[in-house]
Amino acid sequence: MVSSGWWGRLCWCLGLLVFVSQPVWSIGTTAGTMVTNVATVNYLVGPSPPITATSNTVSFRVDEIIQPVLTWQDATPIAVTTPGSNAVLTFLLTNGGNGSEAFGLTRTNGPAPLPSGNYTPLNGSIGSIYLESGALSGFQGSGPNADPLYVAGSSDPTLAPNTNITIYVISNTPSVANNLQGDVLLGAAALTVGVAGALPGTALPGLGQGGGFAVVGSARAQADATGSYITSGLGLVMNKTVLKVRDARGTGVVMPGAEISYQIVATLSGAGTASNLALIDPLPALTTYVPGSMVVDGLVQTDAADTDPAQFIAATQTVSVSLGNVAAPATVVIVFRATIN
């Protein structure tokens, strides 16, 4: 059990930095809190002055209810190539109880009964389950912001009440036909001894946070959610054209100093969702980017890496648009300007 804390909580789990986000809702009184009550009475006896007396103190401890909630976060099945490797499903595990709790995670590929026409995904070749580190949102398999691999028994996430953690399930795809769905069931089970799977209302003395009962919640102190892949001929076509050329004389002639408006139309075809779709376009040689000229789907973008999807990376002279998960079919139009040196 870790001590409770709330905002932007970072939780070290056996050397792995695991990110636990801000509270998601208010579950209530923290387990272990003492509730006390004393009543007071005032009265008169004959002509004597008013007299005050108090009752005995009534008190009890609030026990811990254990109630994880797990949800699959991708809106639609993630498109995968077949055969393919290391496609990412995203889940969110929330501690809906009122005490800190550690959870064990398990995955089941192609949970039974397997619907007709479904395929069974395989564990990812880089690992099976990862935990969001909090350094950079979205799955990072490597690099300075790499998310840690989940290892049962040694990096089980511990969540304070009302906090959550993003979990990535990584899968390889066997060689199967297109347009087939493959499911993975992710399960989370509270690790307090004896609670996972027990009947709702089961109370284990002394095992709750603060020394009270650990009480099994309505979902038997465990939670699961199914995420899906779809094998797909998902295709991305990027078509870059020059919209117009503007030079000082207004002749439209390409010459040093002339400003060129480029348009990139990215068309995503097929079925499913392209995860973490990023469109990157290095500037043509001998051109200079016109600051603040990026427009994505009609919306003006800033050049900085901030809340809008676009940025201009000066170090690599690259226009970059990170669109996250995009469900096919979809079209994205990017416009920017550059001057000829």
Partner 1 sequence: MRISNFLLTTSLLMGLSSLSMVAQAADNAISLTSRAQLEVEVVGKDGKKTLQRTPVEKAVPASEVIYTTTFQNRIDKPVGHIVINNPIPNNSEYQADSAFGKDCEILFSVDGGKSFAAVAQLKVKGDDGKERMALPGDYTHIRWIYLGQLMAGQSGEVGFRTAIK
Q: Which of 3, 15, 36, 116 binds partner 1 (CB under 8 A)?
A: 36
Give me the 56-85 binding string for partner 1, x by CB under 8 A, dash otherwise.
xxxxxxxxxx--------------------
Left if phi > 0, otherwise alpha if psi is -120 to 50, otherwise beta: which for 12? Answer: beta
Structure tokens given for 174: 């066997």
43 binds partner 1, rule: CB under 8 A: yes
54 binds partner 1, rule: CB under 8 A: yes
35 binds partner 1, rule: CB under 8 A: yes
Give me the 201-220 binding string for partner 1, x by CB under 8 A, dash otherwise.
--x--------xx-x-----
Q: Which of 53, 177, 193, 253 binds partner 1 (CB under 8 A)?
A: 53
Rg for the chain, CA atoms, rounded: 28
Contacts of 76 (CB under 8 A, 6+ apart): 272, 273, 327
DSSP state of 135: S
101 binds partner 1, rule: CB under 8 A: no
Q: Which of 22, 29, 154, 239 binds partner 1 (CB under 8 A)?
A: 29
Report which secondary-structure segment, H or E, holds 235.
Answer: strand 235-246
Nearest C-alpha neighbor of 112 from the set 187, 183, 189: 183
Nearer to partner 1, 28 or 211 (CB): 28
Q: Which of 33, 120, 181, 263 binds partner 1 (CB under 8 A)?
A: 33
Distance between CA atoms of residues 164 and 69, nearest Å: 9
Q: List binders of partner 1 among 256-315 (CB under 8 A).
A: none
Question: What's the closest the beta carbon of residue 194 comes to partner 1, in angstroms?
Answer: 15
Distance between CA atoms of residues 92 and 101, nearest Å: 15
Distance between CA atoms of residues 215 and 108, nearest Å: 27
**What residues make contact with partner 1 under the rule CB under 8 A?**
27-29, 31, 33, 35-46, 48, 50-51, 53-65, 98, 203, 212-213, 215
